[in-house]
């Protein structure tokens, strides 16, 4: 097995990072927030570490100003520049990571499908063992689409019904473990075979 160096950008939960580390790879998460689980984590600006020779980068750009779930606020976000800033950050990750062969961007359905390109894949947590609906877009470079691993019933929309709380945004943005494991398993196998 070839050990891969993996950067999981804009992740504080450690979920995706730990899925790759469990397979014996060298994965590090990076976010402005501290990590919620012990492990390799750079707390700071993604662009401080992006130029390292990573084998794979998985980006989770902030979606607050990009996702259609907040469309009723788009006009205000365009007027004060929050949306333009979010789009610029997303596109900066695209431009600054071209030295990495395998890259993925994860975001909910939003405006990047129109401003950048249509996603390569739209997934649901219920395809990976979690009885939830939360459409998740993947834009892929040098990586295959993910195959569902455990299709389950109970397709609830709990994520959108969460009551207001100080950590609501963090909870809504977490990657489901089944999806993180699929990323690690399938993408590492693909990179080892190519």
Q: Encode pLDDT of 96-150 as tens digits.
A: 999 999 999 999 988 799 999 999 999 999 999 998 888 999 999 999 999 999 9
Question: From CA 18, how far away is CA 29, in angstroms rounded?
Answer: 9
Q: What's the CATH superfamily of 5-193?
A: Vaccinia Virus protein VP39 (3.40.50.150)
75 has a pLDDT exceeding 70: yes
Name the β-bridge partners of 5: 26
> HSE on the CB side for 77, CA within 13 Å?
18
Question: From CA 171, how far away is CA 175, in angstroms rounded?
Answer: 9
Helix, strand and coil in the chain, % to nearest 5: 35, 20, 40
Q: What is the CA radius of gyration of the chain?
A: 16
Q: Please state the φ and ψ torsions of residue 107, each to the nearest 5 degrees.
A: -160, 155
Domain spans in the chain, listed from the N-terminal domain onward: 5-193
Residue 158's pLDDT is what? 61
169 has a pLDDT exceeding 70: no
Give the percent of the chain with pLDDT over 90: 68
Dig out the tokens for 62 from the structure: 């902030």
Question: From CA 36, how far away is CA 30, in angstroms rounded?
Answer: 12
Q: Where are the alpha helices (DSSP H) in the chain?
A: 15-22, 74-79, 82-96, 112-115, 168-173, 177-193
């Amino acid at each position: 097995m070839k050990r891969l160096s993996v950067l999981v950008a804009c992740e504080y939960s450690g979920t995706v990072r730990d899925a790759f580390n469990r397979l014996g790879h060298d994965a590090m998460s990076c976010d402005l927030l501290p990590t919620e689980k012990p492990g390799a984590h750079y707390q700071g600006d993604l662009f401080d570490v992006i130029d390292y020779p990573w084998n794979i980068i998985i980006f989770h750009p902030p979606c607050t100003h990009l996702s259609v779930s907040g469309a009723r606020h788009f006009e205000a976000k365009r007027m004060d520049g929050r949306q333009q800033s979010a789009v610029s950050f997303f596109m900066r990750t695209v431009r600054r990571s071209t030295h990495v062969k395998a890259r993925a961007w994860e975001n909910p359905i939003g405006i990047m499908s129109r401003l950048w390109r249509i996603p390569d894949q739209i997934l649901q947590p219920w395809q990976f063992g979690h009885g939830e609906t939360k459409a998740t877009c993947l834009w892929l470079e040098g990586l295959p689409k993910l195959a569902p691993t455990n299709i389950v019933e109970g397709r609830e929309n709990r994520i959108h019904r969460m009551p207001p709380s100080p950590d609501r945004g963090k909870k809504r943005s977490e990657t489901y473990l089944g999806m993180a494991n699929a990323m690690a398993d399938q993408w590492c196998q693909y990179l080892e075979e190519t």
